[in-house]
Structure formats: structure tokens, C-alpha cells
Amino acid sequence: MDYKDMLKDIKNYELKKVYLIYGSEMYLKDYIISSVKKRYISEAFESLNMLYIDGKETSTALIINACETLPFMSDKKIVVVVDLPLFTSKKEANNLDEEGLCKYLEKLNDSTCLIFISNETKIDNRKKIIKAVKQNGKTVELLKLKDGEIVKWIQNIFLKNDKKTQNMDVQYFLHQSGYYDTNSNRTLYDLENEINKICSYLGDRSTVERRDIDKGIVKSLQNNVFALVDAIGQKKADDALSIFNDMVLDNEPIQLIFHMIVRQLRMLMLTKLYDEKGYSQGDISQKIGAPTFVVKKLVIQTRNYSLVDLNTIFEKALNVDRAIKTGKMEWKLAVEIFISEISNTK
């Protein structure tokens, strides 16, 4: 179940007895809780009908007692338990009766909705407590928003600030933000902060332009690597080296930069291979594990390289890695030479 399914439950007054909310996008968790509160809880009786429990400081008995108390002047009582150790660690859960809580979920009052919130990105479906939640309610995984959803969300945040955006500029903002970068921990909260900075920079102007995005946003490592590889493909060695040295000055680990360059080139090769075989950009997106808007940029970038170019570059990358590991060269000099050489590959 994803967040949209739970929002439907809320909207249709069809809340299950119990939910477990987990995943990387905690912005959506706050939105869900806010929606539950708005739909079911009267502000006058909020303290009686919506209870928050720190899972690290509670016991099974306290959770059960909170759920057993009937709602006051309301059809529903909401109990929110945050970071209960039962979902993550057995050591920290010694004071909790997992068996007892599992049995209680079977007879939870219809007037109560128990919501567990875990900041973990994954859950262990073998755990008894998770099986019990699934049998009596739903688990809700909060993943990063997909292409269409995230574009609409960004546009709405700009509109809340009375700013207008064009779709192509929203895509540009999204790419620059690094939201979809590999291993990125950027969240919707981070994007909202970036949007607020851009809106502050705009002042009284109502339309967001690309130059405003460039002024207001902090570019991600992966985005800088994309620009570096683009400069390499256009045979602009000086620009590529300048981008590399700026990243070094920003304290990005050189080993990571090199790894990201090679990874970007690998994605280029796969994109070029699939594109030449006639795959659609949507199919390529699924095969290489990148959003469609990134694939569009990769397809454009592949025009700077032939497959022979890319094979030659990978051979040079292996030589660089070997030279560093055998102590023949130090990282910074090796990567600079690598960038200079592949910028002239033909």
C-alpha cells in the first residue's frame, strides 16, 4: 500500500484499525497524519482524541491502555506510536511484549485507529508484529514521488508562494536538486527548502525562470558529474577540469567523484545501446533504473560519444584505478589526467 491508498481511506472515512507507516519520504508521513487529524479530530478535543506516544519510552501496556480509552465527543480516536523498537531491534524491545501486542491488534476497538510510524526505509516481513499489522490493517511504504507526482508537487509548492512555473523549468529544477540521485537522501523537505529560497530570491516577480533556479539551488554531486561528463563529451577539457576542481574544493571525496564519473559513463553506454536498438525512453528508464527525465538528458548526451569512445574511456578508467591502487599515482593527479585524456578521445 502506498500513501495515496491511505489518503483514500482517510477521505472515504474507511480507516483501518492499524497501520504501519515507514519509508524514506517522511514528508508524506507528516502529510498523512495532518490529513487524519483534519478529517477525524475536532480541534476542541484534540488532546483527548489524538495521542502521540514515543515508542522508545513506552510499554505494551501503555499502548493498549491508550487504545482502550474511548473517544470523547468523536467517532474516532487516533493513537500514533513513533519509532517502536519492535519493528527494528530486539535488544531495544526487551520491555515490550510483542506477543501480547500482536494478540491485542486482533481485538482492537473499531473506534480506535492505531498508527505506528517507523523511520526505517525497509521492514522485516518475517517479524510477528509486522505480520499482525498486515492481518489486521495495512503497511504503508513512503517512497520518493514518481515523475508525474513530483512535478505536480513542485508546481503546487511554487503556487503556494504565488509563483508560476513552466513544466520544462520544473524538470530542470528537479534534475538540479539531486532528488533522484543514486543513494540520495534528499527529501521533499529539502526540495521545499530549495523552492522557498528561490521564491525569496524572486521577490515580487511572479514567474520562475531557469536563471532563478541556478541562483537559488545547491547543485548535487551527481548533477555536477553530469555537467562534467557533458563537458568531456563536447571536448571542453578546461570546463571539465574546472567542474572537477570545484567539487574537490567543496570537499567531495575524489574517489567518489571518480566512481560517479565512471557510473555516469556506464549509464551513457547502456542508454546508447538501448536507444540504438529502438527502445523507448520509458523502457530505457526501467532498464537502467533512472527517471524518464534523466533518460531524456542521457539520450541527448550520448550524441557526444560513439560506443568505441566509451569502450576506450572504460579501458582508461581501469588503468587509472590500477595506477592508484599500485601506488604509481595519487588520486587527484590521476583523475585530472584521466579527464584531460578522455576529453580528447576520438
pLDDT tens column, 48-71? 999 999 998 999 999 999 999 899
pLDDT tens column, 158-175? 999 999 999 889 988 887
Mean pLDDT throughout 177-199? Answer: 83
The model's confidence at residue 90, banded by pLDDT at 50, 70 and 90, is low
The model's confidence at residue 226, banded by pLDDT at 50, 70 and 90, is confident
CA distance 234 to 337: 17
CA distance 131 to 345: 56
Residue 319 confidence (pLDDT) above 60: yes
- Residue 197, φ and ψ in degrees, nearest 5: -65, -45
- CATH class of the domain comprising 3-142: alpha beta
pLDDT tens column, 256-286? 888 888 888 888 899 999 999 999 998 998 8
Query: Which fold does the domain 147-216 belong to in CATH?
Result: Helicase, Ruva Protein; domain 3 (1.10.8)
Residue 346 confidence (pLDDT) above 60: no
**Comparing C-alpha atoms, which of 82, 24, 74 is closest to residue 49?**
74
CA distance 281 to 261: 22
Query: What value does the mean pLDDT of the chain take?
Result: 88
**DSSP class per residue in 187-210:** -HHHHHHHHHHHHHHHTT--B--H
Using CA of residue 68, residue 74, residue 78, residue 79, what is the dihedral sign?
negative
What are the boundaries of each domain within the chain?
3-142, 147-216, 221-342
- Most confident among 133-142, 190-199, 214-223, 237-246 (mean pLDDT): 133-142
CATH code given to domain 221-342: 1.20.272.10
How many Cβ atoms sit within 10 Å of the Cβ of residue 326?
Answer: 8
% of the chain exceeding 70 in pLDDT: 96
Q: Are 147-216 and 221-342 equal in CATH topology?
A: no
The model's confidence at residue 230, banded by pLDDT at 50, 70 and 90, is confident
How high is the pLDDT of residue 220?
A: 72
pTM exceeds 0.85: no
The model's confidence at residue 324, banded by pLDDT at 50, 70 and 90, is confident
CA distance 270 to 54: 47
Using CA of residue 260, residue 265, residue 266, residue 268, what is the dihedral sign?
positive
CA distance 40 to 51: 13
Using CA of residue 106, residue 109, residue 110, residue 115, what is the dihedral sign?
negative
pLDDT tens column, 70-89? 999 888 999 999 999 888 76
